[in-house]
Structure 1
Amino acid sequence: MTITSQDQKVRGKNSYTFDEFLEKRSSLDWYKNDPILQKALKKYAGAKYEQIHNELQHFSSAVSSRWNPLAERAARPEARPSMLHFDAFNHRIDRVVRPMETHQLEKEVFGAGLFSSKMPAWESFAKRMLIHQLGEAGVACPLTCTIGLIALLEQYPNEDIPELEQILQHTKEGLEGDFAIGAQFMTEIQGGSDLPANVLEAVPDGKYYRLFGNKFFCSVAHADYSVVTAKISGTDKVSTFIVPSWLSGDKDKEKRNGYEINRIKWKMGTAELPTGEFQYNGALAYPVGPAGKGVAIAAGIVLTLSRLEIGIACAGFMLRAAREASLYGNFRTVFGKKVKDYPLSVRTLKKIEDAAHRTTAGAFKIYHQFLFLDQPLNAGIPVDQPIELRKQLFNLRELVLLQKICATNEGAEVLRDAISVFAGHGVMEEFSSLPRIFRDIVVNEQWEGPRNLLLTQIYRDIQRVTDWYPSADFVANVLEGASQETIDRFAEQLTDLLQRPVCGEVSEASMEAAEEWDVFCDSFFKAYQKIALEELQ
């Protein structure tokens, strides 16, 4: 049998195409096509809802259609940040090399003035939740760090150091259209999350300081300003400083402010974000806040806001995963039926959607409490405040911690489930954003305190306040709106666990108690999220 050229064209031809799925995915508007996001905003934005809703119609189009492709291209392995230590004339410049797409995305995102006093808080919140759906994209962590830097400067103004007011203006309102980027460099090689173990030295220089030593995890290595923790010479307590990356007139010359970037780390996620190792050789630093209170300031303000933002990011990650998994489940046909028509698959899709909606509702409710309490950031629970206010501040503190550990943990499960809906295509980096966002959320789970550290902190926090805030009252207040049966069950569990050796010496009993504490925190916070979701109905 002779095979003609015409036969060759017909034989083996596969006409299958993903074009229908791709067209629908690219035409989605991440705000307009998300009822739960609109419903939550309507509940919490109040009288400003219509104004914010109309603004988001335009903003969401930019995120969904223009910024998303930039984020995808910037995530290519060959586009990862790198270091150029010297220029052609042997000048040490330590330039952080990033792709054009990241620069463009950064300029537009920060140019939106998300932290300006002119922007309503709920508008900024909703816009950030949309931006987080891009994944890290080289902008999510910089946004988060900038929020903390601004809050620190607002909490501790210092007229003796006018540079701090200029830094606040530059990051919050912008200077001549340029919005500065903040960072926070606290971790050292010997301590990790153990900030009291910092050994970076701050040497007095008039009203300023000079920094000497090393910081080992410095995300947003390209930032304009950074919050840095260090010990003042001759003291054993950590203080807080703001360090400009360049002194006046030196940025264009690429002459850094008395420090070197040794290298950029190779991370499993948030790969577009340059995380470096810094060596300080006399960098000029401006003190912020009371000397010797750096750990409390960092934990009470900077880390609290970072943890709060991670919860918002997780909601964004899950909303995107739910949307794209559902879209693919409606498109893909296997063994003669749509993926969505198989009970096991639809169960997975519903699980993803439920988690996304619950997490989003919880993030909105916690942020509402944050705004309601009006600047609740502090280095502890003030003992001079009325008892009811102290309880509310304590509730918020613990909810931020619970959200951070629970939303990141469940978020990784949600992303993994969403990837499974795509089957083999789910692990293809060019097929969807889900593998990239999965890695991002795993990294976010470790930043600002890993799970076990924060579980310990929550346990000790609750133990510490039992003399003025009984554990049963804490449960009842946090789960207000739940059934009495639910409240009683969690109150009984918490009361029992506080008598167990959760943080005691290692033994069979303490490990069993620790396991039960982990499970309790997860189920307790999901109960809170469930209430928040029911309140949207």
Structure 2
Amino acid sequence: MSLPEKNNPYSFKEWLEKRRINFFEHDIFLQRCIKHYIKNDYDYLNEKLKEYGNNVSFRWTDMADECTKIENRPYIINYDNFNNRIDRVVRPITMELMEKEIFASGLFSETTGDWERFIKIMLLNQNGEIGIMYPLLCTQGLIHIIDELTDSSNRHSEINKILRHCKEGINGEFGIGAQFLSGIQNELDVATITLEAQYEEDNWRLFGSKFFCSAIHADYFIIIAKIKNSEKTGIFLLPAYLPEEKKNNYRNGYTIESLEWKLGTVELPTAEMTFNGSIAYLLGDFDYETNNVLETILLHSKLGIGTTTIGAAIRAVREAKLYSEFKETFGVKINQFPLVVVKLRELQAELERIVAGSFKLFDLFLQSGGKFKVINKADPIEVRKKKFLARQLVLFAKIYNSKVSTNIIHEAMSILGTQGVIEDFTCLPRLYRNSNIFELCEGPRNELLTKLYNDFKINADWFSIEEFVNESLTGSDKEEIEHYTQLINEIIAHPNLYNLDEKTICIAKRWDKLSDDFMMAFQELARQQVLKKL
């Protein structure tokens, strides 16, 4: 029993102190994954990640908590005091400073290795999207697109400058990219795009409207448009400002009509735009299949989104564990409650699966060349198979990780009780609303599952389901490999996923469940490989 006291002595000081830890040094399983996959450079990389972890865990965590307060959400000023159209996106100074520091850490520099970049981005995402992580992902995609579609020997000088700005920085300032690739209703279907490109006075100019344009504050946009009076499409690079107009804040021939209020990544300004003759650079030619190029672009984003959601899940489980060591109910710390212990163990096991799976998948991605390129029939068959394996697994992982991470964060919030939904008490509500958005970003579940299904059918003549499952689950029991081979073959044997009949609906239901089961098997294998190694 306790007696009432008007000066309530209850304090969260112990809880707040527990949370002030280096995210990297505290994460033993993450370090195990690094040791498993990065053997030669582990000691060197470990020291760099400790230092980076300090920035992420203390300075940038405090800045993230500040700039994500409701009063600091972005808004737009369409006109200046002299009635000039400027469409200035206003974001908190704290966010702009943190963005500058994160981009200046040189994640896309030639001096930053693939594994170093991958792990640093996973650490950064433990603070949520914060209006910075999606632009970071888009900037990586922009760099890849320029490298993929243009030849360094004959690029336009401005494109070379843009590439240098995004990778190495110019005078300490780093460029930020955005990708406006989809039609109004479909992110994967180029046929729905209606934005028009015209060639006038030695320049390509864009006309029309775009919706749900995220990271509207970026310096450069990648945009797909159709050539006037033609079904041909092109991929364009559009600077937000022309060099001679940036000092006046006059945008490059487009207007920002409004910012869209959305669930989830509210710190990230997302807009409706109208292009009125914006000058853009054509990347590549019109004689390639834009659908295939778009697919490779979005695969980089999907791989990144998998890392994004995992970073959030890592932070969520840590918050839940630390709070369970602090909170008392009925005179007992809740980490002594069997039901809480069961839930925390489940969350930890699920987290280890998706973390280990992400490392295994990234390793396969590097083995396939480290870049998603259009699969060329002229490539050697083994090269094509490695590319296809990585592409399909990225889709499986994006579908599964974004769903599971959202559930992990939700369950972690429940450990904190009502405190778990207070945004200025814990980061969990922020991570939860972010994660809901990333389930939909770069293609919702139903579209990606249809894409997976179609790709298996189309490419079955040179890469069988048996080979795919064997390569994915190498090291698993023979029975498990045969089990998934049989199930996927049964589903792929169905004519299509478009007929609205009961048999197709049954197949669709089985495919939806099987995709989760298969990725869980892939990730559990990766987890066991990491644990057994040590």
TM-score range, shorter chain: over 0.9
Report the CA distance between 1:531 and its aligned residue: 1.2
- Paired with 1:86 and 1:206, the residues of 2 have a C-alpha distance of 29
What does residue 433 of structure 2 align with? 439
| Residue identity matched to 1:40 | C
Verify: 1:484 aligned to 2:478, yes or no: yes
CA distance in 1, matches of 2:145, 2:382: 26
Distance 1:11 1:329 in 2: 25
Match of 2:39?
46
CA distance, structure 1, for counterparts of residue 365 and residue 390 of structure 2: 7
Q: Matched residues, percent identical?
A: 38
Alignment partner, residue 267 of structure 1 = 262
Q: What code does the residue aligned with 2:213 have?
A: C
1:133 aligns to what SS in structure 2?
A: helix
CA distance in structure 1 between the partners assigned to 2:518 and 2:496 by the alignment: 17
Does 2:66 align with 1:70?
Answer: no
Distance between the aligned counterparts of 2:211 and 2:245, measured in 1?
A: 25
Question: Which digits, 9 at most, give the CA deviation of each residue in 1:450-506, with x for residues without a partner?
Answer: 000000000111111111122122111111111111111111111111123660411
Q: 1:215 aligns with which of 194, 204, 210?
A: 210
Q: Which structure 1 segments of 5+ residues have no match?
A: 1-8
Q: Quote the residue 2:48 is aligned against.
A: 55
Change (3 A) 1:160 1:315: closer
Match of 1:277 among 272, 281, 287: 272
The yes-or-no answer on 1:114 pairing with 2:112 is: no
In 1: Cα distance, 2:251 partner to 2:425 partner: 40
Q: Residue 187 of structure 1 contacts residue 217 of structure 1 at CA under 8 Å; is this kept in 2?
A: no
CA apart distance, 1:206: 5.5
Report Cα offsets for 1:246-265 as digits up to 9, x if no partner. Answer: 11132221011110111111
Q: Secondary structure in 1 aligned to 2:376? A: coil
Aligned to 1:427: 421
State the alpha-carbon separation in 2 of the partners of residues 329 and 80 from structure 1. Answer: 31
What is the aligned partner in structure 2 of residue 391 from structure 1?
385
- 1:5 alignment counterpart: none
Distance 1:260 1:475, change over 3 A: same
Shift of 1:208: 3.3
1:144 to 103, 123, 137: 137
**Any residues of structure 2 matched to 1:15-26 within 5 Å, and which?**
15-25=9-19
Deviates more, 1:204-213 or 1:307-316: 204-213
Residue range with higher mean Cα deviation, 193-202 or 155-164: 155-164
Q: Where does residue 244 of structure 1 map in the other structure?
A: 239
Report the Cα offset of residue 192 of structure 1: 4.8
User: Which deviations, in whole Å up to 9, do the C-alpha atoms of 1:33-80 show, x marking residues without a partner?
Assistant: 001111112222232222211111111101100001111111111211
1:325-344 alpha-carbon deviations (Å, 9 max, x no partner) = 11111221112322222222
Which residue matches 1:3? none
Alignment RMSD = 1.6
Question: What TM-score, normalized by structure 2, do the two folds share?
Answer: 0.96
Distance 2:134 2:197 in 1: 26
Whole-Å separation in 2 of the counterparts to 1:523 and 1:84: 48
Q: What is the aligned counterpart of 1:177 among 168, 172, 185?
A: 172
Counterparts of 2:370 and 2:377 in 1: how far apart (Å)?
Answer: 16
How many angstroms apart in 2 are the aligned matches of 1:180 and 1:100? 17
With over 3 angstroms needed to count, the CA separation of the structure-2 counterparts of 1:290 and 1:531, relative to structure 1, is farther
How many Å separate the matches in 2 of 1:316 and 1:397?
Answer: 21
Partner of residue 126 from structure 2, selected from 114, 121, 133: 133
Where does residue 353 of structure 2 map in the other structure? 358
Q: Which amino acid aligns with 1:118?
A: T
Residue number in structure 2 paired with 1:6: none
**What is the total number of aligned residue pairs between the two structures?**
526
Following superposition, the deviation at residue 31 of structure 1 comes to 0.2
Match among 407, 411, 415 for residue 413 of structure 1:
407
Per-residue CA distance 1:216-243 (angstroms, 9 max, x = gap): 0111100000100100112213210000
Correspondence for 2:308: 313
User: Structure 1 480/511 Cα, relative in aligned 2: closer, same or farther at 3 Å?
Assistant: same
The answer on whether the counterparts of 1:186 and 1:215 sit within 8 Å (CA) in structure 2 is: no
Instruction: Point out where structure 2 has 5 or more consecutive residues left out of the alignment.
Output: none
Q: Which amino acid aligns with 2:70?
A: P
Q: Residue by residue, what CA displacement relative to the aligned partner does 1:384-404 show, whole Å, maximum 9, x if unpaired?
A: 222222211111000111111
Matched with 1:232 is 227
- Deviation (angstroms), 1:204: 1.2
Does residue 295 of the first structure (1) align with residue 291 of the second (2)? yes
Say if 1:488 and 1:191 are closer, same or farther in 2 by CA, change over 3 A: closer
**How far is the alpha carbon of 1:176 from its aligned partner?**
1.1
Match 2:190 to one of 179, 190, 195: 195
Q: Which residue of 1 aligns with 2:27?
A: 34
